[in-house]
Structure 1
Amino acid sequence: MRPSLFRSVPVAALLLLGVACQRNVVVTTPTDPPASGNTSSVSTPAPTSQNTVTPVPDGTMVQFDTAARPGWLEARIQKLSAEPRQNPPARIMRYRFEDQVVYYETLGCCDQYSNLYDQNGKIICHPEGGITGKGDGNCRYFTKRRTEERLVWQDSR
């Protein structure tokens, strides 16, 4: 009786796996110290023995800029706080853009537009979001020309 093709495939896979394991492939991570104990390249920083990314918040409180919030902005924050939590969390930043104070509001995930408000609460444009991720195209230079960034509010729920 001939062995079927389906029975011989797992055997072939095991044989290939055995050959691959015999090559002594060693995997190192950037947190491993170098074999010589030092690095000779100036462009590559010395490895560290600790994680450089903290996956869990460290418990520090975010400092919000509460200076002179306009009434419309307080109302907007209250409305966002009453809605279900978004992922990523909604946040509002204050910037100086084209010689005026503006407020930038990020909203949730995916194709939702972000909002850029003037000092009076009127929407100037949508710098990001939409299908392309590039907003509505009405303030293409916002990310390049904004200055004086301040966190006004972030949903911490």
Structure 2
Amino acid sequence: MRFFIVLVVLLIALNLKISLAQFNIPQCIQKKIDSILAEPVWNPPATIRKYSYNNKPTYLLSSNCCDQFNDLYDKSCNRICAPSGGFTGQGDGQCRDFYQTAKFLGDVWVDKRSREK
């Protein structure tokens, strides 16, 4: 019985550690979130998704409206490319392999504010 309790506690601790690591948002990405929250709700609402691209963590930010690029940033908020968006929906052409090679790691943030007043 004691072994079972220790095992359960270890599994809970491991799960908590993994959950916290998933939400380790770089400070510059948090600043982008804060900036978006200072604006009216975008249409469609803003999202930030984490990917592994070229074996590095990256963050895909949605645009605030139509025909604009969805920019991809590294963990220091250096813009890498725009894999999607723009007039064609195909991005800026600088990372054409993104959706074939990047691994989706999860949603970092989704603006859940209502557009209704």
Structures share a fold, TM > 0.5? yes
Structure whose residues are more often strand by fraction: 2
RMSD of aligned C-alpha atoms? Answer: 1.7
Q: Take 1:79 and 1:69, find their aligned partners in 2: how far apart are those partners? A: 15
Q: Take 2:75 and 2:83, find their aligned partners in 1: how far apart are those partners? A: 17
Q: Take 2:105 and 2:98, find their aligned partners in 1: how far apart are those partners? A: 12
Higher relative contact order (CA 8 A, sep 6+): 2
Matched, 1:93 2:49: yes
Q: Take 2:93 and 2:46, find their aligned partners in 1: how far apart are those partners? A: 22
Q: Which has the larger radius of gyration?
A: 1
Matched, 1:102 2:29: no
Q: Deviations over 1:76-133 (max 9, x none)?
A: 1000111111111110001111110000111133211101001111000011111111
Report the equivalent of 2:9: none
1:83 to 16, 35, 39: 39
Report the equivalent of 2:14: none
- TM-score after normalising by structure 2: 0.74
Structure 1 stretches lacking a partner, 5+ long: 1-64
Q: What's the secondary structure of 1:127's corresponding residue?
A: strand
Report the equivalent of 1:143: 99
Q: Take 1:111 and 1:91, find their aligned partners in 2: how far apart are those partners? A: 16
Q: What's the secondary structure of 2:69's corresponding residue?
A: coil
Q: Take 1:93 and 1:128, find their aligned partners in 2: how far apart are those partners? A: 13
Structure whose residues are more often helix by fraction: 2
Q: Take 1:108 and 1:66, find their aligned partners in 2: how far apart are those partners? A: 25
Q: Take 1:66 and 1:82, find their aligned partners in 2: how far apart are those partners? A: 25
Aligned residues: 94
Letter in 2 for 1:124: I
Structure 2 stretches lacking a partner, 5+ long: 1-20
Question: Which consecutive segments of 4 or more residues in structure 1 shift more than 3 A?
Answer: none
Matches within 5 A, 1:1-157: 67-157=23-113
Identity among equivalent pairs (%): 39
Q: Take 1:88 and 1:148, find their aligned partners in 2: how far apart are those partners? A: 20
